[in-house]
Chain A
Amino acid sequence: MSGKDKMTTEDENEGRGAGGDAMAATPPRTPSSVLDGDIQAKIGQHLRAMYDDVVRQGVPNRFLDLLSQLDQPAGAGGKKPGGGAGT
């Protein structure tokens, strides 16, 4: 384990963007690096396309309902929380 990877704690979120770190992550070049470059670009595209396709579906109603149930003040009557709350 290299010494420069200090342990990150919950409080250290702000300390990001150290440019040097990204350089260290560059994979070693192989003779087929042209093909590699194409494929790596494609991997990035596909990964994001796949992910973003789910993201674009937004928030299913089931979760909006759940949140409004969870968010009711304890004694406010009306709907009961749909499970999960320790009653």
Chain B
Amino acid sequence: MSTLDPGLRDEIIGAIPNLRAFAISLSGSVDKADDLVQETLLRAFANISSFNPGTNLSAWLFTILRNLFRSEYRKRRREVPDPDGAFAATLTTSPDQNSHLDFEDFRAALERLPPDQREALVLVGASGFSYEEAAEICKCAVGTIKSRVNRARNRLGELLALDASEDLAPEKPVGAPLSAHERF
């Protein structure tokens, strides 16, 4: 194990918050996500010589993390996230009541996306990668990423439109259980 170029070390540290956010979206659990990030860092250090300086370090780290997750995913199915979703546990800021409801709906909908679509949407829509970078991370064609992102958006749109129309429907009794069937 050799000492690392300080600039590279800082860059790796700088990527950790994003790696965690991505890992949480993949694994559905904060604990699992942090284990994934730790394993990613160990892997990155062990293989740092295979990193080509001047290329995208962040994409390289994301690729390692995704591969680790995938290889584990093949062994055992995705662990069932806690019912309130992993992101709930990470919430440090509390949105006001109304938007909090929206937020819950959104989180539940995101959990229901197929993993391929969710990861593509997160990489492009939240991590800020280009379609090309996301395709490289996911080892697939750019067109595949685009269609996954589109399908993810459309599916989320359907799920949330459903929620919205339920909220607006006047004939619903006020005390009716709120779309409990939508959860899983």
Chain A positions near chain B (C-beta within 8 angstroms): 1-2, 5, 7-8, 10-13, 15-17, 21-22, 24-25, 27, 32, 35-36, 39-40, 42-44, 46-60, 62-64, 66-67, 70-74, 81, 84-85
Contact = CB atoms under 8 A, between A and B. Distances in A.
B42 A5 contact: no
A56 B38 contact: no
A1 to B, nearest CB: 6
A21 B103 contact: no
Given A42-B102, A53-B90, A70-B45, A63 B4 contact: no
Contacts of A10: 52, 55, 136
A51 B118 CA distance: 13
B125 A44 contact: yes
A13 B4 contact: no
Given A47-B110, A67-B9, 11 more contacts: A8-B142, A13-B136, A16-B132, A36-B157, A39-B161, A43-B106, A57-B17, A64-B13, A66-B38, A70-B45, A73-B3
Given A10-B55, A47-B126, A63-B41, A35 B161 contact: yes
B61 interface: no
A18 to B, nearest CB: 8
Given A5-B143, A67-B13, A53 B126 contact: no
Give the interface residue-count category, chain B. 35 or more
Nearest to A64: B13
A14 B96 CA distance: 42
A20 B103 CA distance: 33
